Amino acid sequence: MPSYVVKENVSLDKRWVSEITPKAEDFSKWYLDVVRKAELADYGSVKGCMIIRPYGYGIWERARDLLDRRIKDSGHENAYFPLFIPESALKKEAEHVKGFAPEVAWVTRGGNEELEEPLAIRPTSEAIICPMYAKWVRSYRDLPILINQWANVVRWEKVTRPFLRTTEFLWQEGHTVHATAEEAQDETLRILEIYREFVETELAIPVVKGLKTERERFAGALQTYAIEALMTDGRALQAGTSHNLGQHFAKAFDIRFEDENQQMQYGWSTSWGVSTRLVGAIIMTHGDDSGLIVPPHVAPIQVIIVPISAGNWKETVLPHARSLLEKLRAAGIRCKLDDRDNYTPGWKFADWEMRGVPVRCEIGPKDIEKKQVVLVRRDNREKAFVPMEGLESRLTAMLEQVQDALFRKACEFRDKNTTNVDTFPVFEEMMESRPGFLRCFWCGSAECETAVKEKTSATIRVIPFGADEEKGTCVFCGKEAISRVLFAKAY
Amino acid sequence: MPSYVVKENVSLDKRWVSEITPKAEDFSKWYLDVVRKAELADYGSVKGCMIIRPYGYGIWERARDLLDRRIKDSGHENAYFPLFIPESALKKEAEHVKGFAPEVAWVTRGGNEELEEPLAIRPTSEAIICPMYAKWVRSYRDLPILINQWANVVRWEKVTRPFLRTTEFLWQEGHTVHATAEEAQDETLRILEIYREFVETELAIPVVKGLKTERERFAGALQTYAIEALMTDGRALQAGTSHNLGQHFAKAFDIRFEDENQQMQYGWSTSWGVSTRLVGAIIMTHGDDSGLIVPPHVAPIQVIIVPISAGNWKETVLPHARSLLEKLRAAGIRCKLDDRDNYTPGWKFADWEMRGVPVRCEIGPKDIEKKQVVLVRRDNREKAFVPMEGLESRLTAMLEQVQDALFRKACEFRDKNTTNVDTFPVFEEMMESRPGFLRCFWCGSAECETAVKEKTSATIRVIPFGADEEKGTCVFCGKEAISRVLFAKAY
């Protein structure tokens, strides 16, 4: 390695990190810097479409597998339905088409022919899945249908932001049909709880479960439930939704079955989904001014091994680092060895911190002598000298500690930024100066909800479960309230 | 359970199976019957688009995971690129657009606006991935790029058949860039070998590796290699392709890097893919007149437990069947208990045979007494009485035996239907009466290749590796041959 390369790169250390805009200065710019510099995603030539780069996709892939396991363990099966929805099918459920038509991409030409009927690229798949269910369901014995699919969907968005709102995104969408209203409601809430547990356990993001107001409801649903998270800029992010569709779609698409008494009945359906926006939620929940912090459960690289490159390190340190890598991999730890010879250890430290690898493992000549390594946690930068012997179990435990600490920190932030507010002047002032979740009484009218949005841009994120027990008067109009609700500015 | 249901269904036993057209009578109809009755796929309202039902998707999902592991273990990472390709990008590589333009679906409207530039729905992703590689690659240190994606693609096909040729299909597509021609060629062949090993080991389908002729080459490639399998109707199926793209795409999309001597060089790229058509290959390689046979490695259900429903079986047999299910699941065997009370055991046997579950496990009152079960292999229908004790390891071994037997049987069929043919009259007669792989000498001219196709509809599937060592004269024109090649009628 020519020495000038090292020198040049030493000076890069600072520049590399300082290229990330501080969160406090411009949160939105900080977000885009992290996405770009950690190589999570990139933009291509089609407006609003993002490229999910391997590191970003690695996070999504792990989250997907962890959720997929839960979806299957709860009795659902995966399938795959077509990308295209005929215009006539999309129009069958009146509310549904009203909600989605403005953001649909249309295929009008196939090969060299103009199509007789334009095809919508699925913005969501109810309108292509329900006709199949109508065909498959005959008897109560065919129910419930519990199907999920992992797919891409397209919504023609005007303003986009990587992971959070993109023209095309990846998601899973569950679509179920049940024999009774009760079963459909149970399924809706069961999935909501699976989402909560998954997002909290694996992504270390605390969420609030609750019901959406009519205004925020999925187009065509009877009820929409959601889990809402609070990002570190004080804005809320809807992390997953579960819809009880009642009989709306069953009636529109004629999903009927013969019940145990030989009577024909319409089915009751649900749909539910989470998407690649969860990657955005991870960035905005855990990241700091040095860049990303990836929760260990979904980290593509959990431990980065950085050899201290002094002297003839390739002969002295590198072989030890390599056998360390093998040892940790054999123990099921996802790790990588940074053996690049054109960067200094200091540069590598900053680089991997920026990419949010949960634990750094340094190994140098002195460590080899002492049969130890140096471990540095990304979340709190704590440094520990740890003996080689038994390192695997120490590291496995440390990764769990990081996961826990990230969750606890996020809970603390969320709690500190959740405030009961009872008067509108305070509400307005808070939303301006220090946004977060504001728990307020609400009378239940769409007029108040709309007026609050117009004045402050805040919306009702959810009516949290159990929040209707407290009595009070609407923060906006002063009339008797139906519940406390969670207001926030949202992504 | 009302007794009339059982009676009715007893009579269904025969009808259920006899609804499958015999292979010898009409292979194509047999195929469609199996797809429909085993609930692998269904058609929806959009022409040529298939719905992959849970059972079919379960096979694909397992195949995907087994290949994904190999792709990752060989150093590739997954990513995700957009569904849309701007028309101008698709046009950049001249051969590429010529090959794909006729089968592209075009998005011309987004939301309520006409688009200024139509967007192609990817028929393959070179034209959307290469511009990104051009942006990401700066120095030889950035190479190789080894990226794969699992995605849906769309090709506007006129004649479709589930799994084999559908307007939309699922696949993986690898796209790599290398610093030298040699590395690109090595990668192309390395992937071909991974495909061969994967298809033979996991899907139990023997394949021939070789080079495609210019006529059959991927649009824009320097060389296309393929693995070709022989279906049981004597027609060939291309099961995977690996393309050395040379510098064609690097030059069209300006993928350049600074080499170690500070000189700018164009990269060398490859692309490669397998698709959901592999599910079609499984059906047509292993299936018989009773329906599907799924190789155990990719079977969503490896063992179906059927309780013998005599007397008060729900009290006597069912609890034992349930604990058997738990025991086998704990041993990592994918199994299911058919506890439906409206079908007879005989009906269930026929049903699960039709669905191709590799092993049936019957348990009845007598078996419980004798502490045994009855195992029946789907592939050869061999029946064995096996003690409960140690059943897990016996079953695990039996599943491997079925996997092996399926592969050996397929190899035998392929070998029996691979014939050296040296004269064109024999060629024509064979293709008519008993099609298969015909190994013939070929002079290397596209004219002979085209003439043979026009006369017999057979094409050169591959020039098998090593087949150029034998000397002879072209089966069509009699001129000196460059190699023996593999002719067949193909899917």
Residue with tokens 């190999």: B70
Whether B83 and A170 lie within 8 Å, measured CB to CB: no
- What CATH number should be reported for the domain whose range is B418-488? 3.30.110.30
Tokens coding A96: 């549904």
Nearest to B84 among A46, A78, A119 (CB): A46
Residues of chain B with CATH 3.40.50.800: 298-398
Cα–Cα distance measured from residue A268 to residue A141, given in angstroms and rounded to the nearest whole number:
15
Q: Assign residue B145 a region (left: φ > 0; alpha: ψ between -120 and 50; beta: otherwise).
A: beta
Domain A297-400 superfamily per CATH: Anticodon-binding domain (3.40.50.800)
pLDDT per residue of chain B (491 residues) written in tens, 0 to 9: 333 333 334 444 555 566 899 999 999 999 999 999 999 999 988 989 999 999 999 999 999 999 999 999 999 999 999 999 999 999 999 898 999 989 999 999 998 899 999 999 999 999 999 999 999 999 999 999 999 999 999 999 889 999 999 999 999 999 999 999 999 999 999 999 999 999 999 999 999 999 999 999 999 999 999 999 999 999 999 999 999 999 999 999 999 999 999 999 999 999 999 999 999 999 999 999 999 999 999 999 999 999 998 889 999 999 999 999 999 999 999 999 999 999 999 999 999 999 999 999 999 999 999 999 999 999 999 999 999 999 999 999 999 999 999 999 999 999 999 999 999 999 999 999 999 999 999 999 999 999 999 999 999 999 999 988 889 999 999 999 999 999 999 99
Nearest to B46 among A42, A54, A82 (CB): A82
Residue with tokens 């008494």: A261
B/e letters for A29-50, b = 16+ CB within 10 Å, e = fewer, are: ebbbbbbbbbebbbbbbbbbbb
Residues of chain A with CATH 3.40.50.800: 297-400
| B62 contacts on A by Cβ (under 8 Å) | none
Tokens coding A322: 């390599």
Q: What is the least distance, in Å, from the CA of B422 to any CA of chain A? A: 40
pLDDT value at residue A310: 83
Whether A45 and B104 lie within 8 Å, measured CB to CB: no
Q: What is the 3-state secondary structure (H, E, C) of A434-447?
A: CCCEEEEEECCCHH
| DSSP reduced 3-state for A284 | helix
B326 contact partners, CB below 8 Å, separation of at least 6: none
Cα–Cα distance measured from residue A271 to residue A126, given in angstroms and rounded to the nearest whole number:
8
In the stretch 95-134 of chain A, residues with CB closer than 8 A to chain B read 102-112, 118-119, 121, 128, 131-132
Question: Is the Cβ–Cβ distance between A442 and A402 less than 8 Å?
Answer: no
Q: What is the least distance, in Å, from the CA of B87 to any CA of chain A? A: 11
Whether B111 and A128 lie within 8 Å, measured CB to CB: no
The CATH architecture that domain B298-398 belongs to is 3-Layer(aba) Sandwich (3.40)
Pick out chain A residues at pLDDT < 50. 1-11
Torsion sign over Cα A436, A442, A444, A447: negative
Residues of chain B with CATH 3.30.930.10: 27-286
DSSP B291: B
pLDDT value at residue B309: 86
| B79 contacts on A by Cβ (under 8 Å) | 51-54, 57
What is the residue-wise DSSP string for A371-409?
TEEEEEETTT--EEEEESTTHHHHHHHHHHHHHHHHHHH
Q: Are strands A483-488 and A437-442 parallel, antiparallel or unpaired?
A: antiparallel
Summarised one tens digit per residue, pLDDT across range A36-92 is 999 999 998 898 999 999 999 999 999 999 999 999 999 999 999 999 999 999 999
| DSSP reduced 3-state for B49 | coil
Cα–Cα distance measured from residue B264 to residue B475, given in angstroms and rounded to the nearest whole number:
47
State the best of A42, A65, A80, A152 to mutate against chain B, taking most chain B CBs within 10 Å.
A80
Task: Fold for B27-286, please state it.
Answer: BirA Bifunctional Protein; domain 2 (3.30.930)
| A76 contacts on B by Cβ (under 8 Å) | none
Cα–Cα distance measured from residue A76 to residue A90, given in angstroms and rounded to the nearest whole number:
25
State the best of B4, B68, B83, B115 to mutate against chain A, taking most chain A CBs within 10 Å.
B83
| A41 contacts on B by Cβ (under 8 Å) | none
Which burial class, exposed, middle or buried, applies to A327 when counting CB atoms under 10 A from its CB (0-12, 13-18, 19+)?
Answer: middle
pTM (two decimals) = 0.95
pLDDT value at residue A9: 42
pLDDT value at residue B13: 53
State the best of B52, B106, B276 to mutate against chain A, taking most chain A CBs within 10 Å.
B106
